Amino acid sequence: MLLGKTINDDLYEELEELLIQSDIGMNMTMQLVEELESSVSRKKLKTSEQIYDELKELLKAKLIYNDEENTKLKLKDGKLNILLVVGVNGVGKTTSIGKIAKKLKDSGKKVIIGAGDTFRAAAIEQVEEWGKRTGVEVVKQAHGSDPAAVIFDTVKTAKNRGFDVAILDTAGRLHNKRDLMKELEKINKIIREQSGETDFETLLVIDSTTGQNGLEQARIFNEIVDLTGIILTKFDGTAKGGIIFPITSELKKPIKFIGVGEGIEDLREFDKKEFVEAMFD
Ligand SMILES: Nc1nc2c(ncn2[C@@H]2O[C@H](COP(=O)(O)OP(=O)(O)O)[C@@H](O)[C@H]2O)c(=O)[nH]1
Ligand SMILES: [Mg+2]
């Protein structure tokens, strides 16, 4: 189909709307539309299909920190690997930990989980539930105990008993940035001291249904801890998820996993081509 100028304008409006709806944010939407207009004229693109395809290419090009070698978890053989999982309450930290534990266990790794969210009573039971479901050992203490002590126990146990991966859950209270910072600094110090590692995965969980707020959360956590990647949850049943574009660009960190449901198998490794296609479904 050949497009006239008016159809073109409508198409741009439609695409702009789609990008904004997907939570990609105003700045990046404007930038993309501008880039698109210039490639359309430079490449003399005519059909709406060509223009959609070009937009997909531009979107993929924005995901420069998300090549396969970056999006894969960095796990080394013959030593303990730490995955510290952070993020605000309710985003899906514990659920993602359960799913990751299952994936790693299935791939033959010896996995242990530390129930570091001691703040909510139900949080510890929830981790234990995931432990049972995945057949993975859980280290816990009583509700209200010091999260750093749980992390200490977990890393020590993991180290002594030759585990391959320790996944550490945390509480995500964000009402007080200073407290959160202090708590995470303490946890970081304990991990470094107990594991002897300075280079470990710190994964920030972002709920794709929270929209632009996700970018703000990412900024705050990125100031507090040395993030190595993002897990985007609740990508099921929503066309959104565009928030990863400003997050990954601004933080210069890869997306490691996408949560696509509440079930144990509902976690995908991030694939930028697949993700961009899913945005247009
Ligand atoms: N639909 C959907 N629900 C999810 C996903 N990940 C987590 N949840 C749900 O979100 C809620 C909060 O998850 P939880 O792991 O407890 O969050 P946490 O407070 O960060 O540990 C639970 O009801 C989960 O089942 C996902 O990818 N898709
Ligand atoms: Mg939790």
Task: Indicate if ligand 1 lies below 6 Å from the C-beta of 170.
Answer: no
pLDDT band (50, 70, 90) for residue 3? low
pLDDT given for residue 5 in this prediction: 53
The CA dihedral of 65, 12, 238, 252, to the nearest 10 degrees, is 20
Say which CATH class 5-62 falls into: mainly alpha
Ligand 1 mean position, distance from CA 94 (Å): 7
Ligand 2 mean position, distance from CA 111 (Å): 18
State mean pLDDT over 236-244: 82
Residue 112 pLDDT > 90, yes or no?
yes
Task: Indicate if ligand 1 lies below 6 Å from the C-beta of 134.
Answer: no
Task: Indicate if ligand 1 lies below 6 Å from the C-beta of 260.
Answer: yes
pLDDT band (50, 70, 90) for residue 195? very high
Residue 113 phi, psi dihedral angles, 5° rounding: -115, 140
What is the percent of the chain with per-residue pLDDT over 70, rounded to a whole number? 96
- Which residues hold their Cβ within 5 A of ligand 2, which is an ion? 93-94, 117, 123
pLDDT given for residue 265 in this prediction: 97
Domain ranges of the chain: 5-62, 70-270
Distance CA(6)–CA(23), nearest Å, equals 26
Distance CA(206)–CA(93), nearest Å, equals 9
* 22-61 tens-digit pLDDT: 999 999 999 999 999 999 999 999 999 999 999 999 999 9
Say which CATH class 70-270 falls into: alpha beta
Helix (H, G, I), strand (E, B) or coil at 78: coil
